[in-house]
Amino acid sequence: MRRVAIIGGGPAGLMAAEQLAAVPGLLVEVFEAMPSPGRKFLMAGKGGMNITHSDPPEVFRQRYGDRREQVAPLLDSFGAEQLRAWIHGLGIETFVGTSGRVFPTGMKAAPLLRAWLQRLRAAGVRFHMRHRWLGWDAEGALRFATPAGETAIAASATVLAMGGASWRRLGSDGAWFALLEERRIPLAPLRPANCGFEVGWSEHFRSRFAGQPVKPVVASFAGRRLAGEFMITEDGIEGGLVYQFSAALRDALAENATPAMLLDLVPGRSLERLTADLSRPRGHDSLASHLRRRAGIEGVKAGLLRELLAVEALGSAAGIAGALKSLPLPVRATRPLDEAISTAGGVRFEGVDEGLMLKSLPGVFCAGEMLDWEAPTGGYLLTACFASGYVAGRAATAWLQDGGAVSTTPA
């Protein structure tokens, strides 16, 4: 019986295992560094499991930026509709939220993962926990560090699905990068994606507003204008609206620019109306009372205005109105990679074939966040992880059935 090793127990690895488990005569084994599989998946679903998005396919593909052409074939094989049907096959229904995001009924990841693992085990998939991959030995066997010591496994095919380099405590530590670099696999540097940014608040602003949401607000940067909300942190900003711009902000910082999002803090009113409202006599009202009465600006929004706007601009209604409609929020740096929701960079698509097999290591396939792509939150991340695992698993199956090598010995 030929043995197939899946290294990584997240959605991409488990999906690859499911495809391979359907093939008679294969022993499919999942090796996971953590004590249990799917830990980051469970954490991602802690506040509500956003599994995919209901965007039309042509819009969906655009969410993958510079790598949309490489990701599109994966989504064609296993996209949002196929993912929803697959979840329904596990006995879990889904629904579309008001934002277009798709959730499993109950909003939790745990029931989905439990049902999936049960089905995988029933299909014969074997799981090996606390097995941390160390690369290959001289004979091409897979090396693992285990609680009982190092062990080596000879596999007929291997799927690498170890995630990116964020949330190390959940297993995605990026240690695989150096192992593949030694084999001269084409790699793009790992960078934070869907990340927070440092701003450098004053102590006064930080102490009063850290932990508070800014909403409703419209942000603009790099030719995009989006509505949503974000959170003030001790060091800067984070949250869904920030993540939509994180790739562009991060790349601008890498070019030694000083990027700034433009915030519309009063999205419901035009500049002309806001100027007129603020031009009304304020009598004995303080500026804070005038802003609250005439513009609905108070709390964290009023704090942002005072924090970011030059004092002299506060002296005129036109200056204040202009700032409220287009307030620059400069960022200084990304937050550390380990804090990011996901990772950009990894195995370049130029180094894999259409089935995600490494061109220089026949029989070794890559899936999930290990590949060089990124997407905003909203279900796009998980969908591409599932899709890449599906494609890698199917391709590994075809490679073996076409007479793939007995072992995957690196050159």
Domain edges within the chain: 2-193+343-401, 197-334
Q: Residues 127, 133, 138, CA angle at the centre, nearest 5°?
A: 120
- For residue 370, give every residue at least 6 positions away whose Cβ sits within 8 Å of its Cβ, in sequence order, or none: 12, 160, 161, 162, 163, 164, 176, 346, 347
Distances (CA, A) of 152 to 135, 148, 173, 272, 347: 10, 12, 21, 71, 24
Q: How far apart are CA 33 and CA 8, in angstroms?
A: 7
User: How far apart are the C-alpha atoms of 116 and 134, rounded to whole Å?
Assistant: 27
pLDDT at 46: 76
pLDDT at 47 over 80: no
> From the centroid of its chain, how far is CA 268?
31
Q: What pLDDT, on a 0 to 100 scale, did the predictor assign at position 237?
A: 98
Is the whole-model pTM more than 0.85?
Answer: yes
Phi and psi at residue 327, in whole multiples of 5°? -95, 115
Block residue for tokens 């370049």: 348
Examine the pLDDT at 45 and tell me if it is beyond 80.
no
pLDDT band at 411 (very low <50, low <70, confident <90, very high): very low
pLDDT at residue 315 is higher than 90: no
The predicted pLDDT at position 94 comes to 96
Question: Do 89 and 104 form a contact (C-beta atoms < 8 A)?
Answer: no
Query: What percentage of the chain exceeds 90 in pLDDT?
Result: 87
- pLDDT tens by residue, 3-24: 999 999 999 999 999 999 999 9
DSSP count for the chain of H helices, then E strands:
14, 20
**Class at the top of the CATH hierarchy for domain 2-193+343-401:** alpha beta
Would strands 94-96 and 52-53 be described as parallel, antiparallel, or unpaired? Answer: unpaired
CA distance 40 to 343: 13
DSSP 8-state secondary structure symbol assigned to residue 338: G
Place of tokens 């109306």: 273
Using one digit for the tens of pLDDT, what is the confidence trace for 105-130?
Answer: 989 999 999 999 999 999 999 999 99
The string of DSSP codes covering 348-375 is -GGGB-TT-BBTTSTTEEE-GGGBS---
CA-nearest of 382, 324, 365 to 6 is 365
> Which band of pLDDT confidence, cut at 50, 70 and 90, is reported for residue 74?
very high
Residue range 297-312: mean pLDDT, rounded: 92
